[in-house]
Chain A
């Protein structure tokens, strides 16, 4: 009986768990324990969903028992089962980590509110991913966005407040664009259900209103996924948020937005409309190439390493959009693979920075000098994550870049390959800056001596660092999942 309700439970468990986390406001520890339990439950559910989808195909779930398109439905196919696994998997690692880190970085009175926001954010992100209904996706987007603004604003630095406000304004504009797009789609088709929309859109192909809806949706989602040059909210948001929040948001929120983009382009508007009527690739390719080069260079000059990682994220999102823009199955596979791989590497890096922040109170490169000897395990994990960003063989980063280059070769676009290689060299430079400071410099004289981070921080960091190595050496599982999903999307059977 439970098995048939799994799609609903995937979202309902964290959604209804959040009020309980909130009710435990007198004891932040209990809130956190409940949050962790919820994250593990959702992870288990997403594994079960992935297995079911692989064995018996797409699952549909009708809320309220009303069949789509009259009611709201959840649809789990290979594509979103894969994304659900990424989101809940990262949550299952970050939530246990958050206790100690939040103890130090967030005021006592805000702690259980922080854990409640984290659970709400998880519910929102999972809901966006699993929704088969354009309006329901919007509602859960609001839940995840509001809770993200809240988490960011709890950062210790006063600038967290402006960062959160900036993101709130940009995010709200993005959400407004999305709802205008959805509204026009409803006006044209009379439906909000994604599969139903997909059937009704091809005949409207020449309608100007449909083109405008497409424009609004792409811009709105672009704001959410920090598509260059709409990324200006992201660096401050990631840099000033509490460490646990940075790690969770950086490795899940933009990935989910990329998923929404893929869903709209390939499943709802369809390959023909998006790529042959509108030619979205002519927007994505130049924008993403510019993003990859420009933000990688900006990352070189950051003093705060969290901010550096944030700029690097914008560049990595560029790789994902580039994969879409290459417009072939290999390119889309690279995008989906990079969703997974980037979550692992940025998760490991931000968690390692959280451990550093726990010990020395900030993540500035000059105060991290010589830390390699005092925090060997944390820094080793950082190095693994860093190598993965660069794309060194035997790390996950190599796999996605390799597939992306293959896709560019298939297209015969040599300049694209040059950009990817140059950007990897720049990434090597900014990671090397950190390695040099940490291992080759000595500790500044007035700095206090610190010891290795506690195990409860180290274990999550290392789980993700080892995952980087494991999925780098043995990429069959992730490539197969990404490859299958990409092939299905291109075949136009969509869901």
Chain B
């Protein structure tokens, strides 16, 4: 029983159903109704420093490619590559040091000197000090990705219960989790997977365990449709520092990318303000300034809309993946912060492997110890 019909829950259901398990997915809302539907769909290696998250991301990047081959062009998979740019020579040096560490960990990164930036992005602001090109960065349309993974899971036999809220977890002998109670009925299950994203802490509490998932708000701006003027995912060097920051205050670094529909997405702010949905003028203003600093032509482009989402954030910025030793029968697959779309397939695969007790992929095995759900206890 997977709780959550976002992209992570969809991937868990997909790999579990394909491994022959009998699977059901339950969500209080529709498909992709939470953070998935508010994501930009980044599949990134470029922003990850060597360590456990990068190891996950490397496997996941391969899995996304496989999924795109298998399911077809239905979720707008684009292996378009990322371009990280530096405003000044010191920034370029910092990027180079970061890229060197990533290369040692198996990431492909090419230095792009200032004079060659225009070959990659003809409309970039003049005067940048240089950048790095990450050809393995890619993008999907996250809501479509979740919906089509779920559809494939359903074809493999999974059941889908939308608009049904989990109100309690059922327990069997010895306190093991054995299903869910909903606002309509009881559903028994051999195991329950908590893929409730930003709301994963609430599901954990139903089992009497603590998982400190907090919301980290982000705004994204969407422009009018344009011809393809931004080719890569382009962002400024300070993005990486923002992602890793633990600060609650508003942070933002321009991340600009085109989409197949012609709109340009401009992300992304990071703020810890709880579940406050109020539109924030300072946040939108800062995004706009940073986007215009990267691509001056954007200043005269019209922004059609903005949206916000709440990233599921854990204190060490790593997700919780796997069985919870404090609550037998309960597995967690949440807390991916801003990387949930990218890390969804590997998360689903790891969960399915734990559930079946066997390897389901030829990819290099990932050490799951850093993602143990009880590591904050």
Are both chains from one complex?
no
Residues of B within 8 A of A (CB): none
